[in-house]
Structure formats: C-alpha cells, structure tokens
Chains A and B, each alone.
Chain A
Amino acid sequence: MSKSEPKISNLNDLLAAAYRIEIDAVGRYNLLADQMETHNNPELVKVFRDLARAEGIHGEEIRRLAGDFDVAAHAETMAQFAQESPEEADLSLAHYLMTPWHALQLSLKGEERALAYFTSIVETAKDPKVKAMAAELVEEEAEHVNLVHKLLRRYPKPKDDWADDPDPPHPIE
C-alpha cells in the first residue's frame, strides 16, 4: 500500500475509508452508465446503474454500522487514495460496444482490489477493534467477489469480434 493512502488509526478511520470506497464506486459506475447512455448501449446503462445501486446500498450499510459518527463527513476530509479508490472501475477499459461480461470484469477487479485493501489492514492493524472490523469487511468483500462470479455465469465471455462495428469511426480527410 502506498504511504499516501488514508491513514487508519482507529475504527472511525476504517469505516470512513470503507464508506469512501463504496461512494467512489457509485460515482464511477454512474459515470460509466452516463457514457453508455450517450453512446446508446442501453443494456450496459442498466448494468452500470444496478452496480451503482448495489454499491450505494453497501455504503448505507457502513453508515449504519458507524452509528452516530458522521462517517460521510470524515470520508470527505480524510486523505484520498494514492491512485484511485480500490473499487473505482478503470475508465480506460470502457468501450462503447462493451458487454455485460466486460462490465462485470471491471466490477470483479474492483471487488478484488477492495478485498486486498482490507486484507492488508487485517495484516497490519495494531488496534484489535480495527483488525476485527477489517476482518468483517474482508468477509463482506469476499461475498461480493463471489456474487460477481455468480453473475458472470449468466453472461459468458463474448466472442473475439465483440468490438467489430459495422459502421466504425473511420479516419476521414
């Protein structure tokens, strides 16, 4: 983990980081849904909006776990991740002809990164409360990874020519 990632000193820091991860993912999936809307790929609009909704629910669960502590405000002020937030899907991998399989691959990578992030906290945290909560979040993320794998069974890998466009954007003079 990079040294400039959010510093987890106590339980509130961990919950804020977890909340930030989910909320950043909501923003990213909605951005991808907007892109697909602009480029007339309605199937993907639905997939990305559903993923955004799911991450929003996870965010709300973390907010509930935090009780009276204003986890959203703390998440806003705490240090940002050195690169992108673990569950933020890689924008550079988006394509206007992408399929649900591709969207779920992006999602899978995000969940795996979140899993790795919380696992690293379990391994390094000294505060037993932080360690226990991080372990709980590892279980949550493992469940999400399993869920994406299940969803992927519904959407087999597309053929190699998935990006072939019968009316491609040709270079013109």
Chain B
Amino acid sequence: MQCPAPVYKQADFKSDVKPIWCPGCGDYHVLLSFTRAFAQLKLAPEEIAVISGIGCSSRIPAYTNCYGFHGVHGRSLALAAGLKVTRPDLTVVVASGDGDGYSIGGNHFLHACRRNIDMTYVVMDNHIYGMTKGQPSPTTEPEFDTALSPGGTGVRPFHPLVVALASGANFIARCFSGNPNETANVLAEAIRHPGFSFVEILSPCVTFRPDESKWKEQVHAAPVAATTDPGKAARRLMTDDGFNLGILYRGDRKPFQPASGASGYDLAQLERDFEQ
C-alpha cells in the first residue's frame, strides 16, 4: 500500500531558530510570506533551497526549514545559479537586501537577469544598510540626511526593476512586507513562472529608517495588470512612483538550463578529482 504524500503546512517551513531582527522589522512579515508561499505551492521543505548573501534580510535561510546557504556578501546569485544548474529539480529562492543585492552583488544581478536561470530572486529593500548600522545604500534617496551622509548623498538612486527588465529578467514584481498574504501569492507566482523572477519587497527598517513607517499609507496596487510587452513595462516602470504593487511584467523567454553533464563532468567525477 502506498502512503499518501504528506501535506505541508506553513509552520512546517519554519525552523526552530528564533529571528533576531528588530521588533517591527518588515523582514518578519517577509518570512511569513515565504512560508505561506511554500505551503501554497505544496512543495516539501527538502525540495526548496533558500540561498542568501549578507545582511539582515540574508538571515532568512536559517529561519526556514528548507535547504539553506548563508553565503558571502553579494554572491548569493552566483551560489544559487551554480546550485540550480546542477540540481534543476530543486526550487531555488534567493534572498537579498538592497545593499547586498544592488551594490556588492550588483554585477551578479545584471548577469543573473541576462542568463534567465529558473529561480526566484527576492530583494528586501529598506533603502539602507541596516545590519552595519545605517549607511546609505544604492536605493537611498539622495536627500537622506544622516551623520554618515551629511546633507544626503546627492546621488540618484538605483532603479532595480528597470535594471532587471533591461537585463532580461523574465518576471518582475513589487510587494510590501506589510501585506504578507498578497506577498505570498506573488512569491508563489514568481516561483511558478519559468526563468529568472525578480521580486522587490519594500521592507521598512524601523531602527535606521523610522520614516519608512509611512510606506504603509503610500503603497498601492498597480493601476494596470501585468504586461508581457517589455516596451510597455519599461515605460510603466520608469514612470511609477516606486510604490506600485503587484506583478508588473511577465516575460516568455526560455530559461537557461545547460544539459546535464554538458561540462563533461558529473558530481561524482568532481568528488573523485578532489580526492586524488
């Protein structure tokens, strides 16, 4: 007699490790969205790998019960790409922040979009380096005035969604951490969509950006449904106010997946080579 496949609940995707984020941090909601999305997709924890770099947001793999890898700063996408091409059976979700993902890992971001490997890249954007105590990040507003950036940086912020589109990302969405169920639905869609999916989650930093508490009132649903036309998407993304939420672009590019063993090596062969 065959045993029925187990049905995993949201709680099954949570580890016993208690998060150490600041109370009020948006990343708590993002963690809820991750586990809700995984349960919604009816995946088993061992079918998912959560890969991250460095930063507050990158602590998330430890808080899930899936496979996880807390990598080095900015290199989460490189690690994840390596994993996905060797283990295409795994659902690979990459977690990052605006510092880790757009600055230290900025170049990996461009090429991950270009390669279009089937994985989901989630950037928890709080417009600040939180873990290292409040330095301006690539998405910090030019006039954000602190002791570390007197008078503001005066530098134009990075526009991650536009960069993702121009570089070839196959699915682009923006969410707000304070809407965890909507975020979970978008994450599930992003994971289902073939190719490289990019989801920016606005996730306020209560400690170094208390002004971001107003995001709750500023976010709103995108006025039109997602487009499949990159030209239209570019126009919409360039003109939005940074607070449009939802799925904004769905592409149809074929994901990149090298044939197994295309390199002439298999994993067992590599292991033998290392042992010699």
Residues of A with Cβ closer than 8 Å to B? Answer: 27, 31-32, 34-39, 76, 80-84, 91-96, 98, 169-173
Contacts of A82 in B (CB 8 A): 181-182
Is B9's CB within 8 Å of the partner chain A?
Answer: yes
- In the bound complex, how far is the Cα of B167 from the Cα of A127, in angstroms? 55
Within 8 A of A (CB), among B163-185: 177-182
If A35-B19, A91-B29, A92-B204 are given as contacts, then 10 extra A-B residue pairs at C-beta distance below 8 Å, sorted by A number, are A27-B11, A34-B19, A35-B21, A37-B18, A76-B9, A84-B181, A91-B24, A92-B29, A92-B213, A169-B208
Quick one: closest B residue to A82, CB to CB?
Answer: B181
Pair B23/A98 contact, Cβ less than 8 Å: yes
Q: Which of A35, A92, A170 contacts B216 (CB 8 A)?
A: A92
Q: Which of A36, A84, A91 contacts B28 (CB 8 A)?
A: A91
Is B133's CB within 8 Å of the partner chain A?
Answer: yes
Is B260's CB within 8 Å of the partner chain A?
Answer: no
Pair A80/B181 contact, Cβ less than 8 Å: yes
- In the bound complex, how far is the Cα of B178 from the Cα of A94, in angstroms? 13
Quick one: closest B residue to A41, CB to CB?
Answer: B23
A-B contact pairs, 22 of them (CB 8 A): A32-B23, A35-B19, A38-B18, A38-B20, A84-B181, A91-B24, A91-B28, A91-B29, A92-B26, A92-B178, A92-B204, A92-B206, A92-B213, A96-B22, A96-B23, A98-B23, A169-B133, A169-B208, A171-B208, A172-B132, A173-B135, A173-B148
- In the bound complex, how far is the Cα of B131 from the Cα of A90, in angstroms? 23
Is B262's CB within 8 Å of the partner chain A?
Answer: no
Is B218's CB within 8 Å of the partner chain A?
Answer: no
Interface of B: prevailing SS: loop
Q: Which of A31, A84, A93, A172 contacts B24 (CB 8 A)?
A: A93
- In the bound complex, how far is the Cα of B28 from the Cα of A32, in angstroms? 10
- Shortest Cβ distance from residue B34 to the other chain A in the assembled complex, whole angstroms: 14
- Shortest Cβ distance from residue B209 to the other chain A in the assembled complex, whole angstroms: 11
Q: Which of B18, B29, B135, B208 contacts A34 (CB 8 A)?
A: B18
Contacts of B181 in A (CB 8 A): 80-84
- In the bound complex, how far is the Cα of B99 from the Cα of A159, in angstroms? 36
Q: Which of A38, A81, A83, A171 contacts B134 (CB 8 A)?
A: A171
Is B228's CB within 8 Å of the partner chain A?
Answer: no
- Shortest Cβ distance from residue B152 to the other chain A in the assembled complex, whole angstroms: 14
Within 8 A of A (CB), among B62-96: none
- Shortest Cβ distance from residue B11 to the other chain A in the assembled complex, whole angstroms: 8
Interface of A: prevailing SS: loop
Is B147's CB within 8 Å of the partner chain A?
Answer: yes
Contacts of A98 in B (CB 8 A): 23
- Shortest Cβ distance from residue A48 to the other chain B in the assembled complex, whole angstroms: 11
- Shortest Cβ distance from residue A28 to the other chain B in the assembled complex, whole angstroms: 9
Contacts of B204 in A (CB 8 A): 92
Contacts of B132 in A (CB 8 A): 172
Pair B148/A171 contact, Cβ less than 8 Å: yes
Contacts of B179 in A (CB 8 A): 83
Pair A94/B9 contact, Cβ less than 8 Å: no
Contacts of B178 in A (CB 8 A): 92
- In the bound complex, how far is the Cα of B22 from the Cα of A32, in angstroms? 11
Contacts of A31 in B (CB 8 A): 28
- Shortest Cβ distance from residue A106 to the other chain B in the assembled complex, whole angstroms: 11
Pair A39/B180 contact, Cβ less than 8 Å: no
Pair B180/A84 contact, Cβ less than 8 Å: yes
- In the bound complex, how far is the Cα of B9 from the Cα of A92, in angstroms? 24
- In the bound complex, how far is the Cα of B34 from the Cα of A71, in angstroms? 26
- In the bound complex, how far is the Cα of B29 from the Cα of A84, in angstroms? 10
Is B146's CB within 8 Å of the partner chain A?
Answer: yes
- In the bound complex, how far is the Cα of B19 from the Cα of A51, in angstroms? 20
- Shortest Cβ distance from residue A81 to the other chain B in the assembled complex, whole angstroms: 7
Pair B180/A94 contact, Cβ less than 8 Å: no
B153-166 Cβ-contact flags toward A at 8 Å (1 or 0): 00000000000000
- Shortest Cβ distance from residue A127 to the other chain B in the assembled complex, whole angstroms: 27
Contacts of A38 in B (CB 8 A): 18-20
